[in-house]
Each structure stands twice: as C-alpha cells, then as structure tokens.
Chains A and B, each alone.
Chain A
Amino acid sequence: MNYSPAVAATGVVVRRGRTEILHGVDVHVPAGQVVGLLGPSGAGKTTLMRAIIGAQRTTSGTIEVLGRPAGHRTLRRELGYMAQSVAVYDDLTVEQNLAYFGRVLGAPKTDVDRVVGEVGLGSVRRNLASRISGGQRSRVSLGIALLGTPRLLVLDEPTVGLDPALRQELWELFARLAEAGTTLLVSSHVMDEARRCDRLLLVREGRIIADDTPDGLLAATGASDHDEAFLRLVERDARAADQDAA
C-alpha cells in the first residue's frame, strides 16, 4: 500500500490574462480514495483539474502528482482525464475511438472490451459516436479515461446529463476502482453526489473553502444534508469576504 498522496498542491495560483482564476489553492488527494471536487460553475474546478493534469500553466505554487511535478512526461501513461466537453471523434465508432486512444497509450488490446463493459456500452459499440445519445457519448469519453488502467483518474463532471440509475452505476464503478487502488478526483455541481465520496473539496470563487469527509462536513456545519452544508459554508465564506472588504 502506498500512503503518499496522489496529488499534493500548495499555493496554486492561475492567472489567465488579467483575471486570477485560482488564488493560492492547496489540494491534498490521498491515494486510493474518491475525492469530490464540488462547487458552483465558474468556481475554478475545471482550471484546477487541468492544472493537475498538466494542461494548464500555473502562475505560482507547486503541484506534485504521484510524486512528480504536474505535467511530467512519465505521468502521461498514469493519468486518465475526462474533460467536460465530450472529447471523442464523432465520425468514428465507439470501438474505434477506444482502440485509437488505447493505441496511443500503449494499452493492451483487451482493454477495449474491458472498458466497453465497465461503462456499459456493449449494445452500441459498433455505432458511430455521432449516432448515440448524449449520455452514451459522455460514457465513451469516460471509457477513454479508463484505458490503460491509470493510477489517477481526473474526471470533470462525469455524471452530468445522466439519469439517476446510470449515475448510481457510475458511482459504484468509481468505488470499485478506488478499492482496486485507483485514486479518483471527480468534480460535480450536484451536491447529492457528495455523500458517495471519501473526501470532499469545496471550491468557491477560486478558493478551497472546505476540505473534509462528507460526515465531517455535516458535523462542522450542523446541516442535515450536503446541499445545506454547502450553502452554509458559502454564506460563511461570503460574510468573511465582506468583512475583509469593509
């Protein structure tokens, strides 16, 4: 068992043009856990994830991923990333999409079958990606991230637009992957997905406003569910910001 963190970031600042998107963020993702990155849209979740996978330049701060600096070339085989936009080729079949990305990764040929099963696309595997439903397309995108059995999965809103039954299935898959030793960083703006995570990071306006377990968060805020807990934290954070300004 490896107890060193999968992601350890300190003081991460990202500035794009004149706007500062992340204002000195610390992130700690323990290995083998499912960590939820929650927050309203525009909070900086995607930017933070892209910085962790090494696709976003940081202005300052350090990010260590699996013990190496973010963006290190040896990490490319060990990271699985699913962006919010469905980054698949519409004019290839589901299978062909998976096969191509698998070849780029050097993943074993059997991976395509494994992944098709894991994301439940067996019935449409020979269909063009442009001819399947939106939910199926996003599962192709998730499937690509699962190729090559990466040690760290960074998933940007993987369950958006899926029906409750499918969401449930995917969260069960995430739990199974974590049990097998994979670390997952999953963003969402649906708070009821929070209770399925081992740990939660709450992001608001480019800052982490809470880093706790789901139960710890309820206890700390005295809220009865995570929606309410989040609202209370946001309120507290906004009040603190107002006092700072005054």
Chain B
Amino acid sequence: MNPRLTLATAARVLTQVRHDPRTVGLLLVVPALLIGLLAWIFDDTPVFGQVGPAMLGMFPFIVMFLVTSITTLRERRSGTLERLLVLPLGKGDFIGGYAIAFGLLATLQALVAVAWAVWGCGLDIEGSVWLLVLVAVVNGLLGTMLGLLASAFATTEFQVVQFMPVIVAPQILLGGIFLPRERMPEVLQTISDWLPLSYSIDALNLVQSGGDAGEVLGDVLVVAAFALGALVLAALTLRRRTR
C-alpha cells in the first residue's frame, strides 16, 4: 500500500461522485426525509425515540452497501479494475481509496441525518451526539466493505441489488429494532450475536439512553472488526491473474 496511490484513488472516486450531483443529493436528503416521515408517523408516541437512533445507523449501512457494490461491480465489468491491477496499484490502495471516499460521504450523510433527527425532529439523545455520528460512520464503512465483497459474487447489477435484502434484511430483523434481542428465541439470539448490525444498534440505543461511553466504543470496535474482516475477504477477491 502506498498513501499517494490510496489518496489518488479516493480523489478519483470522489470526482466521479461529484459528476453525479443527483446521487449526492439523494444520498444526503433521502435519509433525512425518511427520518422526518418516521417522526411524523409516530408523533405523540414514544416509538420515534425508541427506533430513531437505530434508523440513523441503518441508512449509512444500506446506502453505502448499495453504492459501493454497484460502483465496484462496474469497475470489475468495464475492465478498469483489470487495468488497475496490471499497473503498480496495490489492492490495499484500491480498497483503501474506496473506504476513504465513501467514508467521507458516509460522514457527511450521518452529519445531515443526525442533525436533522436531533434538532429538526426533536429526537431525545441522553448521550453525546458525536458518538451517534461515530456509530453511523462506522456503519457506513461496514456497508462499503460488505458491498465490495458482494460485488465479487455478482456478475450483473441485478444480482448485486438482490444481495441487499440477503445481507441487510436479516441483520435488521435480528438486530433488536423490532424486538429486544434478549426476548428472541435462543437460536435467533445466538445468530444475532454474530451479525455486526446487532452491535451498532446496541451502541445507538446506549447513546440514546445515556449509557456508558466505554461500552459504546466497545460495540463500535466490534463493528469495525467486522468491517476489517470484510475488507480482508474483499481484498482476496481482487485477483491480478484470472484462471
């Protein structure tokens, strides 16, 4: 890995995104709109306070998963990835470039969504708002890494979009948004212990109820470890030589 090449790749990805202002707009505005809708639906009930934080974590995860899986699939299909891999670009530079570029986008998205939820929709947060942003950003990175990995197992855009429900939906269902994980059947509880989103939802709930910051960071570390694991697996799918 070479920092100059990693940054050049990140700059290239961001330039590509910049040429697509509609995507940037959707990326920043849609989560806020949906959070606003949620707050409105559950007006006068405590529900928004309970699921709002989890929503803040889910959006960057889902959106970054989609964006990354489709862009990297395009790189694989158009031949630009093959071209890069016969040049002196490290696999780490490629993945790192994407992580930096989409990490920045995820940060921007998280800032807009958190600010809107807290100051626009009156979401009550006992803990630090910055911790909320941190969890959201790490979730975005997790989505990016899983998206990179998923793109290796898809040959068309249709397939890669179908991976979204496969990878995302079970994590949301089992993550404890609908029912606290302690009240699920034991088998499902064990499965949810192995899903990264469970830890981010746990962290978001802790921030909301003003729980221990150390515990929140512990959860964040677990999510980051999953992201790192996905990164390593994704790097293995980048082959300089095809069979």
Contact string against B for A residues 101-114, beta-carbon threshold 8 Å, 1 for contact and 0 otherwise: 10111100000000
Distance of A47 from chain B, by nearest CB (Å): 10
Q: Known contacts A77-B88, A91-B19: does B83 contact A54 (CB below 8 Å)?
A: no
Query: Beyond A55-B85, A55-B86, A55-B242, is A83–B79 a contact (Cβ under 8 Å)?
Result: yes
B204: min CB distance to chain A, Å: 34
A57 in contact (CB, < 8 A): yes
| Chain B residues in 8 Å Cβ range of A104 | 5, 8-9, 84, 87-89
Please measure, in the bound complex, the distance between the C-alpha atom of A91 and the C-alpha atom of B80, giving whole angstroms. Answer: 13
* Chain A proximity of B191: nearest CB distance (Å): 36
Interface flag for A81 (CB, 8 Å)? yes
Can you give 10 contacting A-B residue pairs, CB < 8 Å?
A50-B242, A54-B240, A55-B85, A71-B241, A79-B86, A85-B79, A87-B78, A87-B83, A101-B87, A144-B83
Residue contact B5 to A81, C-beta cutoff 8 Å? no
Partner of B83, one of A92, A101, A103, A128: A101
* Chain B residues whose CB sits within 8 angstroms of the CB of A76 once the complex forms: 86-88
Contact between chains at A57 and B78 (CB < 8 Å) = no
State in angstroms the CA–CA spacing of A7 and B4 once bound together.
32
A217 at the interface (CB under 8 A from B): no
B68-110 interface (Cβ within 8 A of A): 78-80, 82-89
Query: Is B16 in the interface zone, CB < 8 Å from A?
Result: yes
Count of CB-CB pairs between chains A and B under 8 Å: 75
A56 within 8 A of B: yes
Interface residues, chain A, with chain B CB atoms under 8 Å away: 16, 50, 53-57, 71, 73, 76-77, 79, 81, 83, 85-92, 96, 100-101, 103-106, 128, 144
Q: How far is the CB of B6 from chain A (nearest CB, A)?
A: 11
- The answer to whether B15 has its CB under 8 Å from any CB of chain A is yes
Across the A-B interface, the 10 shortest Cβ-Cβ residue pairs:
A87-B79, A85-B79, A103-B8, A76-B88, A91-B16, A100-B12, A87-B83, A91-B19, A57-B241, A87-B80
Contact B241 A55 (CB under 8 A): yes
**Residue of chain A at shortest CB distance from B82:** A55
The dominant DSSP class at the A interface is mixed
B15→A81 contact, CB < 8 A: no
Asked if A83 contacts B83 (CB within 8 A), the reply is: yes
Nearest chain B residue, comparing its CB with the CB of A90: B78
* Chain B interface mostly: helix
> Which residues in B have their C-beta under 8 angstroms from that of A55?
82, 85-86, 240-242
Residue of A nearest to B243 (CB): A57
Q: Which residues of B contact A (CB under 8 A)?
A: 4-5, 8-9, 12, 15-16, 19-20, 78-80, 82-89, 240-243
Residue of A55, A101, A104, A106 ringed by the most chain B CB atoms within 10 A: A104
Instruction: Name the one of A50, A54, A83, A92 contacting B12, with C-beta atoms under 8 angstroms.
Output: A92
Contacts of A106 in B (CB 8 A): 88
Residue A89 contacts which of B80, B85, B86 (CB distance < 8 angstroms)?
B80
Identify A81's interface contact among B78, B86, B88, CB under 8 A.
B86
Chain A residues with CB under 8 A of B4? 103
Task: List, in ascending order, chain A residues with CB within 8 A of B84's CB.
Answer: 104
Find out whether the CB atom of B20 lies under 8 angstroms from the CB atom of A91: yes
B155 to chain A, nearest CB (A): 15
Is the Cβ of B16 less than 8 Å from the Cβ of A16?
no
CA of A187 to CA of B217, assembled, Å: 57
Which residue in chain B gives the minimum CB-CB distance to A74? B88
| A128, B19: Cβ atoms closer than 8 Å | yes
Name the distance in Å between A85's Cβ and chain B's nearest Cβ. 4
User: Which A residue's beta carbon lies closest to that of B4?
Assistant: A103
Name the residue on A nearest B94 (C-beta). Answer: A104
Shortest distance between the CB of B241 and any CB in chain A (Å): 5
Q: Contact check: which of A83, A92, A105 meets B82 at CB < 8 Å? A: A83
Query: How many angstroms from the CA of A89 to the CA of B13 in the assembled complex?
Result: 10
B5 touches A103 (CB 8 A): yes
Provide the residues of chain A in CB contact with B87, threshold 8 Å: 76, 101, 104-105
Q: Are B241 and A81 in contact, CB atoms less than 8 angstroms apart? A: no
